[in-house]
Amino acid sequence: MSDAEPSSAQPGPVAPKRKGKVRKRHTVAKVLVASLVVLGLVTGLSVVFIYRHLNGNLNVVDLTPQLGTDRPDKKAVGGPQEPLNILVMGSDARDCNGCNIDNLTGMGQRSDTTILFHLSADRTRAYGISIPRDSMVDRPTCKSPSGDPIPGGTHVMWNEAFSVGGPACTMRQFEQLTGIRLDHFVVVNFEGFKDMVDAIGGVEVCIPQPIVDPSHGINLPAGTRKLEGMQALNYVRERYVVGNGSDVGRMKRQQAFIASMAHQVISAGTLARPDHLVSFLNAATKSLTTDLPNLVKIGQIGYQFRNIGLDNIQFITIPNEVDPADPNHLVWTPQAKLVWQKIINDEPLTKRLATDVITAGNVPGSNTPSGGSSSGSGGGNGGGKGGKGGGPSQPDAQTLADAGLCA
């Protein structure tokens, strides 16, 4: 609460007390309801109609029967709520509207992007942990939608699970390898990604060198600018002519893009504009395959971010190294197990475990200083409960250059 200003010492009537400004918190749930009401009053649109429309966009799928009976238990931790673990997968299937971007038809489904989003039990920090698609792992057996067994594999690429069994096999692979119980999953396709970027008016990125890839129809000049639609999709997909050409570099660039997107949605007034909000939600819900049952549940999850500062929304890559058996592949280092154990215990990641961190409050190449645009009470040193000096470290100049990001 704000303290009132002292009244004037001059003779005469006592000046009315003025309250200090209270920081506004744009939370998904509150703003969504208010915006829908405004739209209903101003334009005559029915709130119920809009809600049903957005709800109807969702492709809700329950994958529980495919995940087996040997799933890891969720550890009880201290906090007002339970930790939340959501596995986000990007689908590059070409069978959706606008997804056949490079004439690669009949290729089935693949996933080049897998990110675990962990929300702490005290709702003061959130991690996005990327898993390289080239990681070599032992894939467990899983089930098809019809219940038929799908054989596992030894020392196979991470993204093979999505190809052979879709999101359920990727989820089972994740749980069995990490010991982390997943609460929800989300799959996003190309069309939805482009629509969400367009719905918020593009996402600002800083490109240090021109990106020219004639083979894939990509031509992006250097400089800081907002990318929309296909340009944005090309930017996060490009691998071969940016930085050092590695998939790890591409993931770091994707993390920076998502961080910039989160920064814009939270702090640039997107949630305060009813037309932009409904447009964004319409684009987002159209593109999602998820087990989240309705818009209310999605709004509740968004609401739980209200006390997390932008600096405490952090993106890292699971620790990895080159596979000794093949320089084109990666394997997780022993530190990866320590990262997963921290997530299981709902503990903040230390600087030793989380390096090259990108935050939504300090996107590479942006003009926003760290902590300068945090919302809620969690902003500051970026380390959550780790304290000063103990939290994750930001990427150095070489790491940013390898990813094709501005320093």
pLDDT one-digit tens code per residue, 275-308: 666 777 777 788 789 998 887 787 777 767 767 8
List the single range of 4-18, 146-160, 256-270, 352-366 with lowest mean pLDDT: 4-18
Domains in the chain: ranges and CATH: 28-403 (3.40.630.190)
Report in angstroms the alpha-carbon separations of 391 from 30, 84, 127, 168, 318. 31, 20, 12, 33, 16
In tens, the pLDDT along 145-181 reads: 899 999 999 999 999 999 999 999 999 999 999 999 9
Q: Higher pLDDT residue, 158 or 372? A: 158
Name the pLDDT band for 28 (thresholds 50, 70, 90): low
Q: Bin 79: left if φ > 0, else alpha if -120 < ψ < 50, else beta.
A: left
Is-contact 271 28, C-beta < 8 A? yes
In angstroms, rounded to a whole number, what is the distance separating the alpha carbons of residues 238 and 212? 10
pLDDT at 78 over 70: yes
Name the pLDDT band for 6 (thresholds 50, 70, 90): very low
In angstroms, rounded to a whole number, what is the distance separating the alpha carbons of residues 166 and 154? 18
pLDDT at 348 over 60: yes
pLDDT at 370 over 80: no
In tens, the pLDDT along 92-110 reads: 754 545 444 444 444 456 6
Mean pLDDT, the chain, whole residue set: 80
